[in-house]
Structure 1
Amino acid sequence: MKRLVLIDGSSYLYRAFHALPPLNNEAGEPTGALFGVVNMLRAHLKEQPDYIAFVVDAPGPTFRDDLYPQYKANRKAMPDDLRAQVEPMCEIVQALGFRILRVGGVEADDVIGTLAMQGAGEGLEVTISTGDKDFAQLVRPGIALVNTMSGSRYDSEASVVDKFGVRPAQIIDFLALMGDAVDNIPGVDKCGPKTAAKWLGEYGTLDGVIAHADAIKGKIGDNLRAALPRLPLNRELTTIKTDVALEYRPQDLVLQPRATDALRTLYARYGFKQALRELEGGAAGADADAGRISVRGTAAGYARAPAPASAEPLDPALATQGEYECVLTDAQLAAWIAKLQAADAFAFDTETDSLDPMRARLVGISLAVETGHAAYVPLGHTYPGAPAQLPGETVLAALKPLFADPAKRKIGHHGKYDLHVLRRHGIEVAGYAEDTMLESFVLNATATRHDMDSLARRYLGYDTITYEQVAGKGAKAISFAQVALDDATRYAGEDADVTLRLHRALATKLAAEPALERVYREIEMPLVPVLERVEANGVLIDADELRRQSNDLGKRMLVAQQKATELAGRSFSLDSPKQLGQLLFEELKLPALVKTPSGQPSTNEEALEAIAELHELPRVILDYRGLAKLRSTYTDKLPEMVNADTGRVHTSYHQAGAATGRLASNDPNLQNIPIRTDDGRRIRNAFVAPAGRRIVSCDYSQIELRIMAHLSQDAGLLRAFESGADIHRATAAEVFGKTLDEVSGNERRAAKAINFGLMYGMSAFGLARNLGIARGEAQDYIALYFSRYPGVREFMERTREQARERGYVETVFGRRLYLDNINARNQGLRAGAERAAINAPMQGTAADIIKRAMVDIDDWLAAHRDRALMVLQVHDELVFEVDAAFLDTLLAEVPQRMAAAAELRVPLVVDSGVGDNWGQAH
């Protein structure tokens, strides 16, 4: 079995500093902490793991600071002697060939936790090298904790119980009760490890302790009851995240070739004689024959902004475990049908055998009409010995009138999936009124992830049963149809119950924010059934045309490979970052203008663009990569994604994706097909209309610029749009003091770059690079622009100031985007937030407008679904499949409805096109 070692670098540096006596080299530089860490690393190298990484905290705040501003507030500043050892430590770690991982917005613990769970799920033997007791929560088969300094090892539930008195699954609750003085997390006063372990032994979980708080007598009971409001937050703070979004996998963490010369210099400088002897003798850390892989971590979606949502449960009853019934008899079903008939609303969820709603088969349905109680009706559990279940047609026939009743409000979580599944099983859902994923997303798009597990922890203080706990993961995962009914009932019943609890918690918060509630009620919820219909409609593709394009792309890739070989003077792999980096930066001596997070020369797109003017090879590589991406992502893949039942491709649209409110598309992603290249446009030619129909494209013209004019109220910009003239030519005429006819092509191009660039925070440097002019000239262009359009400058300054004061910006319709770094001390982070503050109102308002248009158009199409279908939404564009005889009617109606989706100070203009395929229509 292959091994993955994850080293908690931050923990070891501090522990070594405090554990070892003060040491100095001959020059008087402190070396104690460095000595301890280096010895620990050498020990790991001697064990020769297959994958290994050194993980440290990134600078800046994390999501825990936003949840609890006092988090780690009492920590003293790093001692000067320790700070002086950080940089040499990183130099040695990197020279030894370890990857140094830093991910902003989370702690090293969360990165380690995520990689550990991924590694164990993929069959690796994972060792977490740390002295931090918090990691005991991760111990399970395949994951062990080892403290190289003390020699302790925890690799089983029994070993954790022996040490702490609780099981690994109880460690989080154990820590929440005790608190953590180091991290400034106050626990229950006077509650030490023995008391915490005793309570958890009696009541099982933190929720159980909370539920029985009144039964605990004496002063310690009083202390517990006083601490109850903060315990759910404690649990969230002490939970190691295992779902951090990372751009690498455990298998990427291969030991890199060590830099022997650098190590020799560093070991000699700091007086590490034994390490130096081993280096010269080759005793440890042999060079690994592995290519360098650029790794970059991201932590999007964690709470960083001032948020209206509290992590505290609104009602203790919402955070208690429920009672769930498995419905196996006609009498049970009849009783639940009566409950549903008597209720004004009910929560529901479907269990299926696939994540693809267009292929999934129904395995069961869960229902809830009151918190704490739910039913699971199994329909398709097929494991050996499974109890007899009610016939699916009987259950669906009984439920169909309830789901079809528009007066009976339905509550779901990411319910669009469930609407698909039920429709494909003969039930058209009406009255879908509440969606907890969208309630959370509208309330604060960036405060948390919007999956049910994350929301339950944040808003209910409740830990749900995960899918992996009942169905397993990786190679050992089973279908939900194979899950035992007892487990399935607990899991599925909880889904419906928690959905209802979340709705009650989130609805109260939304009601306190009328503008946000309007966004939820008038834009997001009406859009759910619309998107479900668009996805179900799908789009027809010409697989033969895509195969022809794949063949052509393949030939051109081969030409590019041959050209690259000629330019290099030797053969090499265009797909190998290691070989490419060696060729560009070592052999051709091109400057490495872009570096990876670990400081190595990068060969990504940005890096190659930066040197493309210095040598022909980088441009050839970029061309090759562009062709390869089109082929692998679209021309090869799309034919494989045709649904066997419908003969069409069905994408999925995500409402709770981009914080600005823009829809995201995936499986396949049809919003990222390049439009500025001939090859990208050719791919659109493969999206076709069936016989007797045409494709219609309706696209908002320069909508974000029009929103800029509306928001800034700049007289010149308003006048330019009201005139109906080419906005970029009109801007150029205004800026350069010319008539429209006198404006040159270059002047119009410059005006267009400024118009769009300002919305995205483009600097003079960026404009200069975009136009190929001197930075001073670009700065003059921007200054001239603002002199002609002073209202735009005032709007930008006003927006930045409001963002700094409020912590968020708003769209025209009241949607909020919280800006976590708007008041950050780090200039780079702050500047990025300020750019987002300018752009988000435009992009978010554009998203709101097209969503409103889609709802209105879908309502109009209800009477014409046999003659026209809405089949795609791509940013500011809607695509339709239309009977030829209905074409004139649709072209008269749809653009008008799109233009009427918002009342701005300038007209909304919609461009339309018609063709046999999307390429012709666009």
Structure 2
Amino acid sequence: MSQKIILIDGSSYLFRAFHALPPLSNAQGEPTGALFGVVNMLRAHLKEQPDYIAFVMDASGGTFRNQLDPQYKANRPPMPDELRAQIAPLKEIVQAMGLPLLCVEGVEADDVIGTLATQAAEAGVQVEVSTGDKDMAQLVGPNVMLVNTMTGSKYASDEDVFAKFGVRADQIIDYLALMGDKVDNIPGVPKCGEKTAAKWLAQYDSLDGVMQHADEIGGKIGENLRETLHRLPLNRDLTRIKTDVALEETYSDLALRARDVDQLRALYARYGMNQALKELDGAGAPVNAAGSPPSMPQRVSAPELPAAVELPEGWSERGEYVTVTDETALKAWVDELASADAFAFDTETSALDPMRAELVGLSFCIHAKRACYIPVAHEQAAAQLPMALVLDAVRPVLQNPAIAKVGQNAKYDIHVLRRHGIDVQGLRDDSLLSSFVLDSTRRHDMDSQAQRALGLTTISYEDVAGKGAKQIPFARVELDRATEYAAEDADVTLRLNALNVAELEQTPALLSVYRDIEMPLVPVLARIEANGVLIDAEVLKHQSADLSRRMLAAVQRATEIAGRAINLDSPKQLGALLFDELGLEAQVKTPSGAPSTNEEALEAIADQHELPRVILEYRGLAKLRNTYTEKLGAMINPDTGRVHTSFNQAGAQTGRLSSNDPNLQNIPIRTEDGRRVRTAFIAPPGRVIAACDYSQIELRIMAHLSGDEALLRAFESGDDVHRATAAEVFGKTVDAVTGNERRAAKAINFGLMYGMSAFGLAKQLGVERHEAAEYIALYFSRYPGVRAYMDATRAQAKELGYVETVFGRRLYLPYIHSRNQGQRAGAERAAINAPMQGTAADIIKRAMLAVDAWIAPHASRALMIMQVHDELVFECDADFAETLVQQVSKLMSEAADLRVPLVVDSGMGENWEAAH
């Protein structure tokens, strides 16, 4: 067997980990985010037991490239202090692990890696370059493979490189020279992107070829090329990785050294790397009392955080997977599934839309590291069982509620199997949702979880099916490769969920959120999505035509004002017109410092000139047309005649549901045009749309959480709470409150929940900042309990690193100790709002569970068809509507026991808008 060397691009991973992970810190407040990400990657590499390994970093100071071009990397901002502080401890850990650490002056880490890779490959050693830098693709060749452990991407051949970049490995240098690199301040051919560079190299083979035929390339891009010809040879020299650096070590000097266990133990303990510490000392070793989730560093000193769950032996390794293609093997697996207490399952399909996807195969796993894949619709499989036979075989176990099922985003699989005649029962766990409840601020896709919790780089979909235009349907993936991918999904899902649930069990409140709210909601949402909503495409068509006419009128008015034609969709043209020609004073800047033309910027200058108001009108009309009136009709499912949204339980960190394809949460309701869109959501003949909506639920939750007597009194009285608030603030009777005073009180009531400052309130009310500050001071003097609650919540957030809802859901706040004032202020605002928004989310989810149970016997008479923020929407028989709204309103008001009543507004009509 040939030897192997792993060359790790430490500088690349350090920067990527810093920007990919939140600004984590240890108990002493030292930053650890980038450190943690890189060390996790190193631990995974060491498990591969290579013959040789090196961790390569850039040395300080310039390189030969700066001599070639003084502007090389000249525009890079200084390294953030929080990143710089992690370099020294990283080097200490690397060396304590026994990894050779290389930093060579005068060249970059890429050049050191390129030299070592060339040496080793020529000696017949298998080289794995571990990097996230695309420039390294030029090194791919015989015995040299690129691996990006953060994404799982692998490039082992020209075919792999071509699939990613559209050029061969030996063309990468020229490819980069043509495009340039903004990060490194290498100016390429203007407007030459990936596709253009690949096209030219396909036609002319090399940079020299492109330069020789520059006169043949027409258009503006051809002009750009000819104007840049003088620069391109230098670009090539800058992007070419040196492979002949004079090094003190050769690849054969880079064997793994003995690790310094005592030093590693001290470093892991200091930086809160509890999983690494346990791995170092063995299963029985003590861990920090604070603990932390698997593969997550300690964010703050927090005794309330659950202790880390020990990773079972071998769980960071790949499993053994089989393809089931004959009836004997199928029967054996089904018998095992039937006798199991629980198993993980997954589907492979033809599309992402579960309402249209066709089944291609199924995978199952009962025990970790052992799983199967059953193909049913692969196009070129030499042998596979008929789909009907497989579905008949697995239907009894999938429909048996006594056998627990585990999935990853299982709602998708439930839809697919339902449409293929299987009603999945007994769904107990979902590794996506168990991860979400543990910590909603991190990523919950299976690949990210596997890397974080298992140190395992899973096979990605792109690995087996390709990417972009060259991606093939899963039905065409070769069976052995499909099995590796699909069976691994079921296996890793089983492992991840076991770890997640074990950790949830250490915190009863979190376990309750998972078991009593999130998991029971999965089949409820699946039913709502399957029910769908009826859309009147003709109504939308007429609305689109009207919006188009008004958009044209806005364009014509803008043309009159500007005195010439202007593209209202071009920020560049608008910026030049508004700020250069008209001389308006920009109030909002882009991150680069240029005047902004976004909505906030235009609102800020709308009182200076008519044109910003016209642009805002145009954009509002365009957004409605492009997002809803033009698209909703096209999204009608041809099989059902309805639109089926997809609700995402893990889409918002506070626990609120989000929806997509289409997004029903963002239909504007404050404008007449937005409300008109809802008139297209209709009921079939003989039926009506009914809507039940919580009234001021987040403000009621604020009253409950703060316990403020005056605020509780305002809700208990049943009067208009904003008018009651205005009476308190301005020292008047309720009847004497003016409209403007009520409006100010309403802005304060809702604004404070979102951390609104005096500046923000002044802007909203159109008053001076000192006047808004006086309003806020008066408010807090009348509602001291609200101020006390807000102060206590901020303190809790800083002490624990998280806040909680009434039901125990947690929102972690990784930026609460950030040195960046903006990030820290944002975390403090989130700390105030999250308990209210999260509690509201929990309450309506609990209400949906109760309503779904009540509505089940009446399924022929009523359907729950939408959840939008604090509102539930139904389609029901006209003569059943009164019964439905009465019962649903009752169930919604009983979904939580707060100190103030939960009030539900309801209505019904021929369409969604009429129900309000």
- Per the TM superposition, whether the score is higher than 0.5 is yes
The answer to whether the 8 A contact 2:274-2:308 is kept is no
Q: Distance in 2 between matches of 1:700 and 1:644?
A: 34
Residue 319 of structure 1: SS of its match in structure 2?
coil
Count how many residue pairs are aligned between Structure 1 and Structure 2: 736
- Within the candidate set 555, 563, 568, 1:561 is matched to 555
Report deviation, 1:599.
1.4
- Within the candidate set 314, 317, 326, 1:317 is matched to 314
Deviations 1:83-125 (A, max 9, x none): xxxxxxxxxxxxxxxxxxxxxxxx9979999999999847486
Quick one: structure 1 residues 689 and 505, their matched pair in 2 at CA, closer, same or farther if it must change by over 3 Å?
same
Q: Distance in 1 between matches of 2:586 and 2:312?
A: 57
Q: Distance in 2 between matches of 1:480 and 1:848?
A: 37
Quick one: structure 1 residues 153 and 739, their matched pair in 2 at CA, closer, same or farther if it must change by over 3 Å?
closer
Quick one: structure 1 residues 842 and 223, their matched pair in 2 at CA, closer, same or farther if it must change by over 3 Å?
closer
Question: Any stretches of 5+ residues in structure 2 without a counterpart?
Answer: 1-10, 16-56, 95-130, 137-147, 154-160, 185-196, 207-231, 277-295
Q: Tell me the residue number matched to 1:637.
A: 631
Q: Distance in 2 between matches of 1:394 and 1:460?
A: 36
Q: Distance in 2 between matches of 1:468 and 1:704?
A: 43
The answer to whether the 8 A contact 1:760-1:839 is kept is yes
- Within the candidate set 414, 421, 440, 1:426 is matched to 421
Residue 40 of structure 1: SS of its match in structure 2?
coil
Q: Distance in 2 between matches of 1:412 and 1:842?
A: 30
Deviations 1:768-794 (A, max 9, x none): 111111111111111111010000000
Amino acid at match of 1:517: L
Q: Tell me the residue number matched to 1:782.
A: 776
Residue 367 of structure 1: SS of its match in structure 2?
strand
Q: How does 1:826-865 map to 2 (within 5 A)?
A: 826-865=820-859
Quick one: structure 1 residues 366 and 646, their matched pair in 2 at CA, closer, same or farther if it must change by over 3 Å?
same
Q: Tell me the residue number matched to 1:18.
A: 61
The answer to whether the 8 A contact 1:164-1:193 is kept is no
1:748 aligns with 2:742: yes
Amino acid at match of 1:812: V
Quick one: structure 1 residues 227 and 662, their matched pair in 2 at CA, closer, same or farther if it must change by over 3 Å?
same
Q: Distance in 2 between matches of 1:783 and 1:592?
A: 31
Q: Distance in 2 between matches of 1:111 and 1:714?
A: 60
Q: Tell me the residue number matched to 1:354.
A: 351
Quick one: structure 1 residues 877 and 804, their matched pair in 2 at CA, closer, same or farther if it must change by over 3 Å?
same
Q: How does 1:519-598 map to 2 (within 5 A)?
A: 519-598=513-592
Residue 345 of structure 2: SS of its match in structure 1?
strand
- Within the candidate set 460, 467, 470, 2:464 is matched to 470
Quick one: structure 1 residues 220 and 788, their matched pair in 2 at CA, closer, same or farther if it must change by over 3 Å?
closer
Report deviation, 1:836.
0.6
Quick one: structure 1 residues 220 and 489, their matched pair in 2 at CA, closer, same or farther if it must change by over 3 Å?
same
Q: Distance in 2 between matches of 1:37 and 1:824?
A: 37
- Within the candidate set 497, 502, 506, 2:496 is matched to 502
Q: Tell me the residue number matched to 1:901.
A: 895
Q: Distance in 1 between matches of 2:795 and 2:132?
A: 34
1:659 aligns with 2:653: yes
Quick one: structure 1 residues 701 and 684, their matched pair in 2 at CA, closer, same or farther if it must change by over 3 Å?
same
The answer to whether the 8 A contact 2:846-2:895 is kept is yes
Amino acid at match of 2:335: A
The answer to whether the 8 A contact 1:684-1:917 is kept is yes
Residue 908 of structure 2: SS of its match in structure 1?
strand
Q: How does 1:560-709 map to 2 (within 5 A)?
A: 560-709=554-703
Q: Tell me the residue number matched to 2:116.
A: none
Q: Distance in 2 between matches of 1:616 and 1:582?
A: 16
Quick one: structure 1 residues 73 and 829, their matched pair in 2 at CA, closer, same or farther if it must change by over 3 Å?
farther
The answer to whether the 8 A contact 1:304-1:820 is kept is no
Report deviation, 1:739.
1.4
1:374 aligns with 2:406: no
Q: How does 1:207-246 map to 2 (within 5 A)?
A: none
The answer to whether the 8 A contact 1:821-1:833 is kept is yes
The answer to whether the 8 A contact 2:73-2:183 is kept is no
Residue 878 of structure 1: SS of its match in structure 2?
strand
Quick one: structure 1 residues 609 and 474, their matched pair in 2 at CA, closer, same or farther if it must change by over 3 Å?
same
Quick one: structure 1 residues 715 and 71, their matched pair in 2 at CA, closer, same or farther if it must change by over 3 Å?
farther
The answer to whether the 8 A contact 1:536-1:650 is kept is yes
Residue 373 of structure 2: SS of its match in structure 1?
strand
The answer to whether the 8 A contact 2:364-2:372 is kept is yes
1:394 aligns with 2:426: no
Report deviation, 1:228.
14
Q: Tell me the residue number matched to 1:410.
A: 405
The answer to whether the 8 A contact 2:309-2:503 is kept is no
The answer to whether the 8 A contact 2:275-2:308 is kept is no
Amino acid at match of 1:859: A
Q: Tell me the residue number matched to 1:441.
A: 436
Q: Distance in 2 between matches of 1:843 and 1:399?
A: 41
Aligned-pair identity (%): 59
Report deviation, 1:826.
2.5
Report deviation, 1:735.
1.1
Quick one: structure 1 residues 337 and 41, their matched pair in 2 at CA, closer, same or farther if it must change by over 3 Å?
closer
* Root mean square deviation of aligned Cα: 4.1
Report deviation, 1:361.
0.3
Q: Distance in 1 between matches of 2:898 and 2:609?
A: 49
Q: Tell me the residue number matched to 1:340.
A: 337
Q: Tell me the residue number matched to 1:717.
A: 711
Residue 797 of structure 2: SS of its match in structure 1?
helix
Report deviation, 1:806.
0.4
Report deviation, 1:580.
0.8
Residue 913 of structure 2: SS of its match in structure 1?
helix
Q: Distance in 2 between matches of 1:695 and 1:718?
A: 34
Quick one: structure 1 residues 561 and 305, their matched pair in 2 at CA, closer, same or farther if it must change by over 3 Å?
farther
- Within the candidate set 764, 768, 780, 2:758 is matched to 764
Quick one: structure 1 residues 906 and 232, their matched pair in 2 at CA, closer, same or farther if it must change by over 3 Å?
closer
Report deviation, 1:550.
0.2
Q: Distance in 2 between matches of 1:475 and 1:115?
A: 20
Residue 374 of structure 2: SS of its match in structure 1?
strand
Q: How does 1:168-187 map to 2 (within 5 A)?
A: none
1:327 aligns with 2:324: yes
Deviations 1:891-921 (A, max 9, x none): 1210100111100000000000101000111
The answer to whether the 8 A contact 1:310-1:458 is kept is no
Q: Distance in 1 between matches of 2:896 and 2:906?
A: 18
Q: Tell me the residue number matched to 2:913.
A: 919
Q: Distance in 2 between matches of 1:123 and 1:224?
A: 46
- Within the candidate set 511, 525, 537, 1:517 is matched to 511
Q: Tell me the residue number matched to 1:452.
A: 446
The answer to whether the 8 A contact 2:93-2:264 is kept is no
Report deviation, 1:700.
0.2
After TM superposition, the structure 1 stretch with the greater mean CA deviation from structure 2, 316-325 or 432-441, is: 316-325
Q: Distance in 1 between matches of 2:275 and 2:298?
A: 18
Q: Distance in 2 between matches of 1:841 and 1:544?
A: 42
Q: How does 1:56-205 map to 2 (within 5 A)?
A: 59=80, 61=82, 121=164, 123=166, 127=176, 151=237, 194=252
Report deviation, 1:695.
0.2
Which TM-score applies when normalising by structure 1?
0.73
Residue 557 of structure 1: SS of its match in structure 2?
helix
Residue 61 of structure 2: SS of its match in structure 1?
helix
Report deviation, 1:40.
3.0
The answer to whether the 8 A contact 1:309-1:443 is kept is no
Deviations 1:534-557 (A, max 9, x none): 111110000000000000000000
Amino acid at match of 1:790: P
Amino acid at match of 1:378: P
Amino acid at match of 2:344: A
Which TM-score applies when normalising by structure 2?
0.74
Q: Distance in 2 between matches of 1:612 and 1:552?
A: 25
Report deviation, 1:886.
1.4
